[in-house]
Structures are given as C-alpha cells and as structure tokens.
Amino acid sequence: MSEVLAASASTLGQCMCIITGASKGFGRALAHLASKDLKPGSVLLLVARSRSLLQELKEEMHRLTEGQDLIVQCVEADLSTKEGVKDTVDMARQYTGNEIDHVLLVNNAASLGDISPFESFTDLDQVNAYLALNVSSTLVLTAGVLQAFPPRSGLQWRVVNCSSTFALEALPSWVLYCSAKAAREMMFRVLAAENPNVKVLSYAPGPMDTEMQETIRRLTGVQYQLNPCKESATKLMKVLLNNDFASGAHLDFFQL
Ligand code: NDP
C-alpha cells in the first residue's frame, strides 16, 4: 500500500467531494459532517433530483462553513438517466484545474424499488429502470469521475459505496434491492482489485430514520429500530479520517 493510502489525516484535505443523494437522509447528514473537514479550496458537489432541497442544503452549508473558502455546487440530476450522470461528471470536470489532493466520491443515492415476490418481476423495463439507478449509474458515474481526475501519486482517491446488510443477506421479496446492493459491492471490489491507487469502502449504514425507512414501514409493516442519520454518518467520517480500512472492505455500522 502506498504512503498516500496508508496515511491517516485529521481533515479530508483539499478535496473534490461528491455526494450523490445529498438532498435527504443519510447523504444530507454526511454532507453536513464532511463540510467541516474540508480544507479551503475544496469543492463539494451535492447531487440529487430535488432542486429546492439542494438549494436549502447549499444555504445551510454556506452558513456552516462561513470563512472556510469552500465551493459548494448543487447538481440537479436524475442519476437513472444518461443526462443526469453526464451532468454530474461535467460539473466535476469544471474543477480539474483546481488544486485538489483528494477525490472522495460517495455513491449514496439509491431507491428501495418494488418489494414483491420473485415471480412478479416479469417486466424487463421495470427491472432495467431499477438497475439503471441502483447499479449502472454508480459504475458510469465512478468511471467518469475517475477519467476526469486520473489517480496519480499525491492524489488520494476514495470511493464510498453505500451498501447494506442486504448486499450479503437474502431477504424474501427484496430481490431488486438485495441484487443491486450485491452487484454494487462486487463492482467496487473489482475496482479495488484493479486499481491500487483508489481506495474503496462499502459501508452498510445500519437502519436509519429516513424516507426510505418510511417506505419500508408502509410497504411491509416492519418497524426496525432506527438510528439518526448523523450517528451513522459520524462513524463513516471517523473511518475515512482514520483511513483504517482495507480497500474493497465491507464495514457495517454495527461493527464500528
Ligand atoms: P433516502 O431515500 O432517504 O434518500 C435517497 C437519496 O437519493 C435522496 O437524496 C434522493 O434525492 C436521492 N435519489 C433517489 N433517486 C435518485 C435519482 N434517480 N437520481 C438522483 N438522486 C436520487 O435514502 P437513505 O438516506 O435512507 O439511504 C441512503 C443510502 O443508504 C442508500 O444507498 C440506502 O440504500 C442505504 N441504506 C439505507 C438504510 C436506511 O435504513 N435508511 C439502511 C441501509 C442502507 P431526490 O429524491 O432529491 O432525488
């Protein structure tokens, strides 16, 4: 492992930090925490579909980080579409000339999808639409950002995959969600195996009080014991700042 990958740091450095699904839930909590650890000159790209929520978050960020000299940009993009992914990569590309010593891409955006018995998934378009956001866009976005900021010595490059216990565990009627999370996990293990200059972490954030959990409750009647997003985001930030994980690892909220 190179020096740059092994070193721990008290900040995220001068960072190009991209958080997908930043408008709500875990992504929003993580954006709040990450902004405090960004050095002056850093760029924070907040990606989601809801323009008003992103704008509101951007204003919060400006208040929180006053005097910190950060560039905060909202990217209103539907990541299930080609255009949405392209707009996000294009926005990141605008900053390739900036002095950046760390690229941190958090692939957080996801959807729950239909929770139904296996045999109900007979519509190829429905399945492809789900996979477009939850698997394909993650690959295409990560590849695009890797091309924009080619890994090199002196540039710390990290990808976080927001994973789930259900990447590893089969849950009846959750074929879409489980399959997508499992595919993402392998996708990022391949990246870790392929590129030693990119450090990859699959983080299962544990059950959190978010819109996704409201939907789970509504659809299944199951009520998990939920943690605040901030608690899980704090654990992830600690792991990132300490840099104490093996590339390609799967870490769970409950293990930390
Ligand atoms: P939420 O559903 O609360 O938020 C999802 C985020 O993704 C929102 O910001 C949403 O923004 C964005 N998003 C959804 N669809 C799209 C799209 N097509 N294009 C762009 N952005 C999109 O999810 P959570 O915060 O609960 O989950 C965050 C991550 O953690 C997910 O990967 C989830 O699978 C994982 N996870 C969550 C758990 C939980 O208990 N909540 C447990 C384990 C894992 P907008 O609607 O504005 O586009």
> Ligand 1 pocket check: which of 208, 209, 222, 231 to mutate, most ligand atoms within 8 Å of Cβ?
208
* C-alpha 144 – ligand 1 centre gap (Å): 21
Q: Measuring from atom 44 of ligand 1, which residue has the nearest CA?
A: 164
pLDDT band at residue 7 under the 50/70/90 scheme: low
Residues with CB under 6 A from ligand 1: 21-27, 48-50, 53, 77-80, 84, 108-111, 133, 162, 164, 204-205, 207-208, 210-213
The whole-number pLDDT of residue 33 equals 97
What pLDDT digit, counting tens, does each position of 190-230 carry? 999 999 999 999 999 999 999 999 999 999 999 999 999 99
Overall average pLDDT of the 102-131 stretch: 98
For CA atoms 24, 17, 243, 112, the dihedral sign is: positive
- What is the atom index within ligand 1 of the atom nearest the CA of 25? 25
* C-alpha 148 – ligand 1 centre gap (Å): 25
Q: Measuring from atom 48 of ligand 1, which residue has the nearest CA?
A: 49
Domains of the chain: 3-255 (3.40.50.720)
Prediction pTM value: 0.97
Work out the percent of the chain whose per-residue pLDDT is above 90. 95
Query: Are 92 and 18 contacting, i.e. CB atoms less than 8 angstroms apart?
Result: yes
Q: Is the pLDDT higher at 173 or at 7?
A: 173
* C-alpha 21 – ligand 1 centre gap (Å): 6
The whole-number pLDDT of residue 2 equals 41
The whole-number pLDDT of residue 4 equals 41
Work out the percent of the chain whose per-residue pLDDT is above 70. 97
Point out the least confidently predicted range of 4-8, 71-75, 175-179.
4-8
pLDDT band at residue 10 under the 50/70/90 scheme: confident
The whole-number pLDDT of residue 5 equals 44
Tell me what the pLDDT averaged over the chain comes to.
96
How far apart are alpha carbons 204 and 136 in whole angstroms? 19
Predicted confidence (pLDDT) at residue 42 exceeds the cutoff of 60: yes
Q: Measuring from atom 6 of ligand 1, which residue has the nearest CA?
A: 21
- What is the atom index within ligand 1 of the atom nearest the CA of 49? 48
The whole-number pLDDT of residue 143 equals 98
